[in-house]
């Protein structure tokens, strides 16, 4: 996901994207450790997308941890 796309999201959508990227990254790591994943470059893409969304959330002073617990 590009940074422009992330910046255009509103706060609830941003929190949901963080949740989705964390889940995707977990699944990719699991599949990589079992040898099921074919496109290992997707791991890096997912990691960078998560970092982008977390950066924008910090810029907006969103407490991601408390939002994800709701």
Provide mean pLDDT across the span 20-25.
97
DSSP SS3 for 37: coil
Output the pLDDT for position 53. Answer: 96
Per-residue pLDDT reduced to its tens digit, 37-59: 999 999 999 999 999 999 999 99
Give the dihedral sign, CA 48/54/60/61.
negative
Residue 28 and residue 43 in contact, taking contact as beta carbons nearer than 8 Å: yes
């Amino acid at each position: 996901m590009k940074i422009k796309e992330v910046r255009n999201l509103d706060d609830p959508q941003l929190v949901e994207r963080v949740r989705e990227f964390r889940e995707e990254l977990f699944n990719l790591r699991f599949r990589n450790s079992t040898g099921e994943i074919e496109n290992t470059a997707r791991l890096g893409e997912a990691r960078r997308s998560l970092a982008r969304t977390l950066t924008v959330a910090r810029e907006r002073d969103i407490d991601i941890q408390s939002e994800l617990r709701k």
